[in-house]
Chain A
Amino acid sequence: MAARPDDKLNVIGRRQRRIDGFDRVSGRSEFTDDIRLPGMLHGKILRSTQTHARIVRIDTSKAEELPGVKAVVTHKDAPDLMFSEHQPVLAGDVVRYVGEEIAAVAALDLLTAEEALELIEIEYEPLPSATTLRQALREGAPVLHVRSPDNVGPTMEKDWGDPDRGFAESDCVIEDEFRTPMQHNTLAELHVALADFSNPDKLHMYTPTQGAPMYQMELAKGFGLETSQVRVVYRNIGGAFTGRGRPKPHHFVAALLSRKAGKPVKIKATADEEFIMFRASGETVYKFRTGVTSDGVIKALEADITFDAGGHDEWAMILWLPSVYLNWVYQAVGVRYRGRFVFTNTVPKGSHHGGIMGRMSAGWQQHIAHVAQELGMDPADLHLKNAVMPGHESPDGSVFASCGLRDCIKAVVDRSGWKHKYGKLPKYRGIGIGLGAQASGSKAADNDTSAAMVKIAADGVVTLYTGIPDMGQGSHTVMCMIAAEVLGTEPESIRVVQGDSDITPFDWGAFSQRGTFTTGNAVKAACEDARQQLAEIASRELDVAADRLEFGAGRVAVRGNAEQSMSFSEVANKSLHSTEGRFVMGRGFFNSPKPFGALAFSFGAQVAEVEVDPVTGAVTVDKVWAAHDIGRVINRLAVEGQLDGQVFSGMSQVLYEECKVEDGLILNPSRLEYKLPRAYELPEVDYTLVETIDPYGPFGAKEVGEGPIVVSMSAVAAAVQNAVGAMVPEMPMTPWRVLRMLRATADGSTDVGKAWSEGLD
C-alpha cells in the first residue's frame, strides 16, 4: 500500500550512515580480487594488434610448452561459444578491432601468463579498415560484416503520437546537430572474473556484477548448462555505471580456461586493458528537430542518432534508450525517433554513466535553449510552459502517477536567482538550465522480478537475504532502512546476506534504477510478512488481538501498555524452539503489474553557473542548483551523495572526458591521460528535494540513481552555451574547443558548426 505524506516514519527520511561504511573506509571490505581459491591460476588474454585482418595462422605451441602454463585456448577450443549473435568469444577467422580477444593463457602466476602470451604467434593478413563513422559511411568503405554491406547495423525508426501533425501545427522548426566522442567509465574497481569450472557440472563465477541472473543466463547458454548450474558470487563492488550489467568476453574466457585447466582461473584487467574491456560509449552524432508555436508551445520533437557500434553490435538496447527521453519531459503532440548503429573497426560499445540519455541531453537541452532563443523566450519559461505534469500520459504510453517537474523548475529558478542572471551576467559567465526524467525500474521482460527474504533468528537478529548488489550506491543501507521501518528496529542491527546466487532469492539486479523501487518493494513485503508472523505468535503469547500490537525498539508490545511486550528473541524462540518448530521467515517479491515500461518516473531540473577563461579556454563550474522529484526520500545523506556524484560525473563528461582515437587506437588509455577531474573541480551543489509521494514506490520512493546526471549534463552544457554565445556542437568542451567557439562567436560567425568542423582537431 502506498504511504501517505503524513505517515509517521521513524527511519525513512533520515540521514543514515552507510551500514558498511566503516568496513569500506577501514579496508575491511572484501572485493573480488581479494578472493584466492586453492590452486587458482592467473589468466591473460591475447588481443588483436590489427584494426581489421584475417587471421591466417595461430601457433600456440611455444606458449603451451612454457613451464607453468596450464591451459591455452583459442577459437578452436570453443568455435560455437558466442558472445553476441554474430560474435564468437574468441575471434575465428577475422579480427575487427585492436584489442579483440583471440587467445588466452592460464598459468601458475601472472608473470608466466604474460610471458606465454608473447610466445603465441599470430599471422595476420591485414584488411582495409574504417575506424570512424565518417570512414565507415563513405561510399565504397571497407565492409566489416557481409550481412551489413553499408556498415549499418540494427536500426530503429519509430513515431509516437503524431509528429507530422505536430510539425504542421508549429510556427517554427529548429534543427541542430551535436556530436559526442568515445568516452570511458573509469570505475574504481577494475574488471575481474574468477571462474571455477573445474567441475564441468557447475560453473562458479566470482565477479562484480549489477545483477546475477543475466550472468547466470548468458553463461549457462554459452556453456550448455541450466541456469542453476551457474553460481554467481560477488562481494563489494567498486562502481558499475552500466558496465557490469551482463558478462563480458573475459568472463567466458576465464570459464573456458578453467574448464580446460581443471583449476580456478582469475582474469583481472590492467588499467589500460580496461579501456578495451569496458565497452563504453562510442562516437555519436545527433540531429535534433523541434517544432514550436510562436508563443512557445512545443508541438513535435525529433531526434536522429547515429551510433558508432564498434566492431560488433553487442548491445542493441542503446538504440532505443534515447527515445524515451524525448517522450517524458515535454507535452508534445508527437515524437519521432531514428537510430542506427554503424560498424567501425573499433572496440564494441556500450554506454557511459547516464546511459545514452546523459550524452544526448548535453546537446538536446542546448538545442531547446536555442529554440527558446529563436522565440525570444527565457529558456526557463519555455521549459515550464511545456513540462509534463502529474497524470500526464506521454506519447509512448507512460503515465506519470506522480510528477514534480514543474516544482523542480520553479525551485532551481528561484534558488539560483535565474531571473537576475539570465542574459545579465558579465561576459564569459554563463548560466544554463536543464531538465530530465528517468524511469524508476523499467521493465523489459517478465523476469524483472525482485524477491527478498527476512529471517528472525532465535536471538532476535534480523537477517535480510537480497540479490541486489551494492555497487557503492548504498542500496543495502536503503534496504535495511526499509526493513527497520517495517519491523520497528534500527538499520544497523540488521544483517545483510548477499552476493551468492545459490543462496539469495532471485533479483534481476541494479539496472534501470530499479533497486530502491523494485527491490525496495520486495524487501518491504518480506518484512511485512515477517512482521505478521511475529504478530501472530505474540498475539497468542500475550493474549491480545494482533491488530492491538505495535512494533518498536526491537520489541512487540501491546499498544498503550509497554509493560506487556516481548522481544523478537522471545517471540522467535516461542515459535522455533517448541513443538511448532517453525522459524520466522518473511518472504516478499515485486514484479510490476505493467507488462512493459515503468510504473514510476523521477524528474529533475538543474541550473549551472559557469565561468569561461577567455585566455586559456578553461571552464569552471561555480555552482549547481539541483532540484529533483525522487519520490519519498529514504536516506537523505545518500541522496545528497548521489547528487554530488552525478553533478561531478556529468560535468566531467561534458567538460573533460574523451578517448582520443586515431586509426582505431585509443591514444590515452590510462587514468593519467584520460583527463578525469578530481574532487577539487566539484562545484558546490545546492539541493532541493521535491518529495512527491509515488503510489507505487516503497513508502512513495522513486529513483535517484541516474536521473540527476542526465540533468547535470544538460545544465552544464547549456551554461557553457550561454557563456560562449552559441550552441557548443561537441563534447567534451575542452579548453581548445571553447577557445575556438569564442573566436567563432567573436567573429560574428553565423555558422559556428562550420567554423567548428574546419577547426584543427
Chain B
Amino acid sequence: MHLPAHEFVKPRTLAESLDVLRQAGNVKLIAGGTDVTFNMRGRLFQPDVLLSVRGLDELSGVGVDGDGWLRVGAATRLTDIENAPALGDWPMLRKACRSVASRHVRNMATLGGNLCLDTRCWYTNQTAEWRQARGPCLKNGVEACHAIKTSPVCVALNASDIAPALIALDAEILLASADNERRLPLADFYTADGVHHTVRKSDELLVAVRVPPTADATVYIKETARKGNDFSYAVIAGRKTDERVSKLVLGCLSMRPIQLTGVLDVLGSGELTEALIDQAADACRAELGVLTNLYTPAAYKAGLARALVRRALQTLKET
C-alpha cells in the first residue's frame, strides 16, 4: 500500500515546527517514522500534513544537565541513546531502549516516537479493506468496540517498551507549544483511553525527557512471543530505594502503563520473603483493570502480570 496523499513539512527549527502545529489542521508528527508510515499505509490516519521533527537540533542529543539530571531530546534515535556514555548511570533506560524491535528499527526510531506510539489493536491495525469488512469502532469515532463489546472507551494496548522504565525512574517530560511550555511527570502523560492515549494537546510537541540521578537497583523484563524484534506481551520495570521496593510499573497490557502502587503497599518495608512476594504478586490483579483478549487471552495477561511481578521482585531481592 502507498502512503495516502499528504503535505510533508520539515521545518528547520523548533519554533517553526510549533508554528506549523498551531496553524495547520490535521497534522501528524513524524520522527523516525517506523510506526507512523506503517500505520499510514494501512490508512489508520490520513493527515493533511506530515510534520517531520527528525534531526531537529533542539530535539536531539543525550546529555547530563547541571543539576545531574539526564536529558534526552525527543527526536534522538534509540541507537544513539543506547550508545551514549551518559547512559552508564541509567542502565535500565539503556536496557529498555535496546529491547525495542531490531537494530534496523532502532537506527530510525526515536525516544519521543516510542513514548507517543499509537495504541495497538488487532481490529484496527489492519488494512482499510480489513476494517471495512469488520466495521468501524471508537478509533474511527463510532461508538463501538470489537475487543470488549460494552466498553465505552477504546481498550487498544499501549505499546511502548520504554515508558515503564522511564516512569519507574521518575522521568519528567517537556512539552512545548507555540505559546507555552510545560513539564509533567511521564507517569501523568498517559490516559486510560486508547484513542486519546496521552494528554498531549494537538499543538504540543514532546521536546525532551529528563531523568533524575539515581543509584537505585533496578529491574527491567520484557516478555515476547519470540526473542528479539517484537512488540511485548508485557514488560515490567522495578526499582528499589533504600532497601524498599519503590516502583513497579507494568506496560503493554492495557491502554497505559500501570503503576502497581497497591502491590507496593502490600510489600511495605518488609523483607522480600517468598511468602511476601507471593502475596504481592497476588495483589497485582486488582490493579490491572479490565483486560482484553487482544493478541493474548485476558487470563494469560493476568497470569503473566503476576509472573513478571514475581520475577521482578525476586531479582530486586537478589540485588
Contact = CB atoms under 8 A, between A and B. Distances in A.
Interface of A: 47-50, 98, 110-111, 114, 270, 272, 615-617, 656, 660, 663, 665, 667-669, 672-673, 675-678, 680-681, 735-736, 739, 760-761
Contact of B129 (A49, A672, A676, A761): A49
Contacts of A98: 133
Nearest to B134: A665
Nearest to A735: B300
Contacts of A656: 225-226
Contact of A616 (B223, B298, B299): B223
A675 B1 contact: no
Contacts of B132: 49
Contacts of B310: 615
B191 interface: no
Nearest to A615: B307
B133 A736 contact: no
Given A272-B130, A616-B223, A616-B304, 17 more contacts: A48-B133, A50-B133, A98-B133, A110-B2, A270-B127, A615-B307, A617-B303, A665-B130, A667-B123, A673-B295, A675-B226, A677-B226, A678-B226, A678-B227, A680-B226, A736-B296, A761-B297
B8 interface: no
B300 A739 contact: yes
B231 interface: yes
Contacts of B223: 616
Contact of B231 (A49, A270, A667, A672): A672
Nearest to A613: B307
Interface string B214-229: 0000000001011111
B293 interface: yes
Interface string B120-146: 001100110110111000000000000
Given A111-B2, A270-B1, A736 B226 contact: no
A467 to B, nearest CB: 36
Contact of B297 (A48, A270, A665, A760): A760
A668 B296 CA distance: 12
Contacts of A617: 300, 303
Interface SS of chain A: helix, strand, loop or mixed? loop
B307 to A, nearest CB: 4
A272 B300 CA distance: 27
B130 A669 contact: yes
6 contacts: A272-B130, A616-B304, A660-B122, A676-B226, A678-B227, A760-B299
A700 B299 CA distance: 54
A678 B1 contact: no
Shortest Cβ-Cβ A-B pairs, 10 listed = A736-B300, A49-B133, A680-B227, A675-B225, A615-B307, A667-B122, A761-B297, A677-B226, A49-B132, A111-B2
Interface SS of chain B: helix, strand, loop or mixed? loop
A37 B194 CA distance: 47
Contacts of A668: 122
Contacts of A615: 307, 310-311
Nearest to B128: A118
Contacts of A673: 122, 295
Interface string B224-246: 01111111000000000000000
Given A47-B129, A680-B226, A616 B297 contact: no
A292 to B, nearest CB: 37
Contacts of A677: 226
Interface string B145-173: 00000000000000000000000000000
Interface of B: 1-2, 122-123, 126-127, 129-130, 132-134, 223, 225-231, 293, 295-300, 303-304, 307, 310-311
Contacts of B299: 736, 760
A736 B229 contact: no
A114 B226 contact: no
A761 B228 CA distance: 26
Contacts of B231: 672
Contacts of A50: 133
A736 B225 contact: no
Contact of B293 (A110, A272, A663, A761): A761
Nearest to B234: A616
Contacts of B297: 736, 760-761
B1 A681 contact: no
Contact of A669 (B1, B126, B226, B230): B126
B101 to A, nearest CB: 10
Contacts of B123: 667
From B133, B230, B311, name the one whose CB has the most chain A CB atoms within 10 angstroms.
Answer: B133
A385 to B, nearest CB: 39
Nearest to A110: B2
A248 to B, nearest CB: 19
A735 B293 CA distance: 14
A405 B309 CA distance: 49
A675 B296 CA distance: 12
A213 B223 CA distance: 48
A114 B229 CA distance: 30
B315 to A, nearest CB: 14
A669 B1 CA distance: 15
A616 B307 contact: yes
Nearest to B300: A736
A576 B225 CA distance: 63
Contacts of B130: 272, 665, 669
Contacts of A665: 130, 133-134
Nearest to B131: A49
A702 B295 CA distance: 42
Contacts of B227: 678, 680-681
A591 to B, nearest CB: 45
A272 B228 contact: no
Contacts of B127: 270, 272
From A616, A656, A678, name the one whose CB has the most chain B CB atoms within 10 angstroms.
Answer: A616
A760 to B, nearest CB: 5
A48 B132 CA distance: 10
Contacts of A272: 126-127, 130
Contacts of A761: 293, 297
A395 B127 CA distance: 50
Contacts of A660: 122
Nearest to A668: B122
Contacts of B298: 760
B246 to A, nearest CB: 24
Contacts of A270: 1, 127
A49 B303 CA distance: 36
A236 B294 CA distance: 38
Contacts of B300: 617, 735-736, 739
Contacts of A736: 296-297, 299-300, 303
Contacts of B304: 616
A739 B301 CA distance: 12
A675 B229 CA distance: 11
Contact of A681 (B2, B122, B226): B226
Nearest to B2: A111
Contacts of A48: 133
A736 B304 CA distance: 9
Contacts of B295: 673
Contacts of A114: 1-2
Contact of A678 (B2, B126, B228): B228
Nearest to A673: B122
A719 B91 CA distance: 39
B212 to A, nearest CB: 33
A673 B121 CA distance: 11
Contacts of B1: 114, 270
A328 to B, nearest CB: 34
